[in-house]
């Protein structure tokens, strides 16, 4: 299986795992956070869902975000995440964003995998790494959801 096919399969698989685990967060715990500055399950889920589409854009455009004002850009992303507070909307956004990732991956040529995207902010990302980020990002945030579940006493390992 080639790199793009693997990235596509993993993006879908990790989205499904995230959504499965998030579905086990009780409604009364969606806004719970272990500390005043910590993110809740709903906020983690909104962030994870919205970034699927953001990764798709980076892959499709072959360009990293390079905002002039990083603080304003981050504040805008935070505001967008805070607005998404409905479990069904999060799932819809995540599925749509992942479909966009698959479409963007289908639009890559073999030579595109060898390019490196430069941020203009002092870092760069090889396309080979970028195509793996939708799955990796979902995996990381699944771990956050799992941790929150242990905080309220849910020690179950969800496999279905």
DSSP codes of every residue in 115-127: -EEE-SSS-EEEH
- Output the pTM of the full model: 0.94
Distance of alpha carbon 75 from its chain centroid, rounded? 17
pLDDT value at 160 more than 80: no
Rounded to 5 degrees, what are φ and ψ at 104?
Answer: -65, -40
Instruction: Write down all domains in the chain, each with its CATH number in brackets.
Output: 3-151 (1.20.120.450)
Mean pLDDT, residues 130-147 taken together: 97
Contact 34, 151 (CB under 8 A): yes
Lowest mean pLDDT: which of 1-5, 75-79, 103-107? 1-5
- Considering the chain, what is the average pLDDT of its residues? 95
The pLDDT of residue 48: 98
What value does the mean pLDDT take over residues 6-24? 98
pLDDT score of 155:
87
Distances (CA, A) of 3 to 26, 57, 133: 37, 19, 13
Q: Is 159 or 95 the better-scoring residue by pLDDT?
A: 95
> Mind listing the pLDDT tens digit for each residue in 23-80?
999 999 999 999 999 999 999 999 999 999 999 999 999 999 888 888 898 999 999 9
């Amino acid at each position: 299986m080639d790199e793009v096919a693997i990235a596509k399969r993993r993006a879908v698989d990790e989205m499904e795992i995230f959504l499965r685990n998030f579905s086990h967060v009780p409604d009364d715990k969606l806004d719970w956070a272990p500390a005043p500055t910590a993110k809740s399950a709903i906020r983690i889920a909104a962030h994870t869902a919205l970034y699927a589409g953001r990764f798709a854009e980076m892959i499709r455009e072959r360009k990293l975000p390079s905002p002039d004002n990083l603080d304003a850009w981050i504040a805008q992303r935070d505001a967008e995440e805070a607005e998404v507070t409905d479990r069904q909307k999060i799932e819809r956004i995540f599925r749509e964003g992942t479909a966009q990732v698959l479409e963007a991956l289908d639009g890559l040529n073999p030579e595109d995998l060898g390019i490196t995207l430069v941020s203009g902010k002092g870092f760069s990302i090889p396309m080979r790494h970028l195509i793996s980020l939708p799955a990796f990002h979902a995996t990381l945030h699944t771990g956050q959801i799992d941790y929150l579940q242990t905080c309220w006493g849910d020690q179950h390992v969800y496999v279905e």
